[in-house]
């Protein structure tokens, strides 16, 4: 193996004797070493940089650390300056999936000893350009942190479109002062660092005095019920907040005993659809490319279809275009739903792992697709999109706003607390926002579901320069 030169996207793993095997309980002998070169080439004249990460003990079989896709996301999402190469070092992988329980971190002196013992290996894995001008390069260790205390695999499945996926129950705790929570979540192997969907699990006992072993026993015994309408994903509540822009329309329909309607592009576990159907009284039609994802939503996340909630399987963009053509021909019913929707909500991520996690896919904001979306909306309808900008210079956001401003009348933005996502709302007509004095039943119900602060956080986008 020759690592003296950088080769974009080169991914290679091998075993290596543990240089510090005497440390207790953390890393195997031999170690698994995985090397990934960045898909982004360094500017000419800039020295190559290498970083390393110790895989958290017990997570070595997790797709985040054991697959090229997970490794790439770790490299691209580093908060440090971009690195040319990332080396992951951990114990040998076990068969996947296996339960995980967080172990106490290594004491600082043991961590320093482990990192020091690996330095000769890391220097040997550094590209020769890192040694320009005769200096020995630094190889910083990155750290991985999340809030998982326990991860219990429920089921691994494979879908015809998204590939392998895993349903898992997790116990999380943001910090020691917080009461632990338990959740069920879905992840795809092609993008394992991204939680596709998650819902709350309501335990049969109080978690405030719960020990780590009690939490694990609770997960293993399935002593909980699903809260299928819970909007746990950080961006879902802001997406629902976008409906406040059509509150007057929704109120008028409800007063006339007509249910507002929403087309959801991307189903995931179905939490958004269930919330709209049960808590806000919408007719909901979901579009999902993968039939196995829908089966997972039904079996493991509590999605229930009825006369007011249905799902179609197929390419979402293709189905929307077909709906638009049918509506143009005067067909006012599509399957069992109206051909005009009060809202179209888009929760789709890009499948291009080289670009990192991003949403929506670029093909969704092409002119012909947006024209089709506009065609299936009512005259007062809105398009609501979850947006994860790729790691760029802001050009994606400017392009998105420019394209939408040419197709729709007004644009609004809602920030998401995780600072990774934001929500864009595009309207077919000018919006008359209700005053505080005229807050009617639908708006009050919306605030009960998501909280009033989100409704008041919506800002109008006034600059459309690309």
Q: Are strands 31-37 and 11-16 parallel, antiparallel or unpaired?
A: antiparallel
pLDDT value at position 435?
57
Between these two residues, 228 and 440, which has the higher pLDDT value? 228
Q: Could you give the C-alpha distances from 356 to 143, 193, 445, 454, in angstroms and in order?
A: 19, 10, 37, 28
Q: Which residues, 6 or more positions from 115, have their beta carbon under 8 angstroms from its beta carbon? A: 52, 54, 141
| pLDDT higher than threshold 50 for residue 240 | yes
| pLDDT higher than threshold 50 for residue 139 | yes
pLDDT value at position 88?
99
CA angle 412, 415, 418 (to 5 degrees): 160
Q: Which residues, 6 or more positions from 13, have their beta carbon under 8 angstroms from its beta carbon? A: 32, 33, 34, 35
Laid out side by side, the sheet with 283-288 consists of: 309-313, 283-288, 261-265, 341-346, 377-387, 422-427, 410-415, 459-460
Residue 212 — pLDDT band, cuts 50, 70, 90? confident
What are the structure tokens assigned to 99, written together?
Answer: 């339960």
| pLDDT higher than threshold 60 for residue 142 | yes
> pTM surpassing 0.85?
yes
Q: Could you give the C-alpha distances from 93 to 67, 351, 422, in angstroms and in order?
A: 11, 26, 36
pLDDT value at position 437?
47
**Chain mean pLDDT for the chain:** 90
Most confident of 138-152, 316-330, 449-463: 138-152
Most confident of 38-52, 179-193, 383-397: 179-193
Domains and CATH numbers, the chain: 11-142 (no CATH), 148-227 (no CATH), 236-460 (3.40.50.150)
| pLDDT higher than threshold 50 for residue 466 | no
**β partners of residue 425:** 384, 412
Query: Please, are residues 420 and 427 in contact by the beta-carbon 8 Å criterion?
Result: no
Say what percent of the chain tops pLDDT 70: 93
Distance CA 411, CA 236 (A): 18
Residue 416 — pLDDT band, cuts 50, 70, 90? very high
211 CB-contact burial (10 Å; exposed 0-12 / middle 13-18 / buried 19+): exposed
């Amino acid at each position: 193996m020759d690592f003296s030169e950088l080769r974009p996207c080169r991914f290679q793993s091998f075993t290596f004797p543990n240089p510090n095997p005497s440390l207790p309980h953390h890393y195997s002998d031999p170690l698994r070493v995985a090397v990934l070169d960045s898909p982004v080439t360094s500017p000419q004249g800039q020295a190559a940089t290498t970083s390393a990460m110790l895989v958290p003990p017990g997570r070595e079989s997790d797709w985040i650390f054991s697959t090229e896709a997970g490794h790439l996301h770790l490299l691209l999402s580093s908060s440090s300056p971009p690195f040319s190469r990332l080396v992951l070092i951990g114990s040998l992988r076990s068969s996947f999936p296996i339960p995980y329980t967080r172990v106490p971190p290594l004491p600082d002196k043991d961590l320093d000893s482990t990192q020091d013992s690996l330095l000769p290996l890391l220097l040997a894995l550094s590209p020769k350009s890192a040694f320009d001008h005769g200096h020995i390069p630094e190889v910083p260790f990155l750290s991985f942190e999340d809030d998982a205390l326990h991860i219990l695999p429920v089921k691994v499945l494979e879908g015809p479109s998204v590939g392998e996926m895993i349903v898992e129950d997790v116990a999380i705790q943001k910090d020691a002062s917080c009461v632990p929570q338990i959740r069920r979540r879905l992840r795809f192997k092609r993008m394992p660092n991204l939680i596709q969907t998650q819902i709350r699990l309501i335990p049969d006992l109080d978690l405030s005095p719960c020990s780590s072993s009690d939490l694990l026993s609770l997960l293993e015994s399935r002593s909980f019920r699903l809260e299928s309408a819970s909007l746990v994903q950080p961006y879902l509540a802001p997406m629902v907040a976008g409906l406040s822009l059509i509150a007057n329309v929704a109120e008028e329909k409800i007063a006339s005993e007509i249910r507002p309607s929403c087309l959801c592009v991307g189903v995931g576990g179905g939490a958004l659809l269930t919330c709209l159907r049960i808590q806000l009284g919408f007719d909901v039609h979901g579009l999902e490319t993968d039939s196995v994802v829908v089966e997972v939503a039904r079996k493991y996340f509590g999605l229930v279809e009825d006369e007011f909630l249905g799902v179609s399987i197929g390419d979402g963009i293709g189905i929307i275009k077909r709906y638009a053509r049918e509506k143009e021909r005067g067909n006012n019913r599509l399957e069992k739903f109206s051909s005009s929707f009060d809202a179209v909500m888009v929760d789709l991520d890009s499948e291009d792992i080289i670009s990192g996690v991003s949403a929506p896919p670029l093909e969704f904001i092409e002119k012909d697709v947006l024209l089709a979306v506009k065609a299936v909306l009512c005259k007062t309808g809105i398009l609501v999109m979850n947006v994860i900008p790729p790691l760029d210079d802001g050009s994606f956001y400017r392009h998105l706003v420019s394209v939408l401003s040419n197709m729709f009348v007004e644009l609004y933005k809602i920030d998401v607390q995780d600072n990774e996502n934001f929500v864009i709302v595009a309207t077919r007509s000018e919006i008359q926002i209700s005053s505080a004095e005229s807050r009617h039943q639908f708006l009050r119900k919306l605030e009960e579901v998501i909280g009033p602060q989100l409704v008041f956080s919506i800002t109008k986008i006034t600059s459309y320069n690309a």
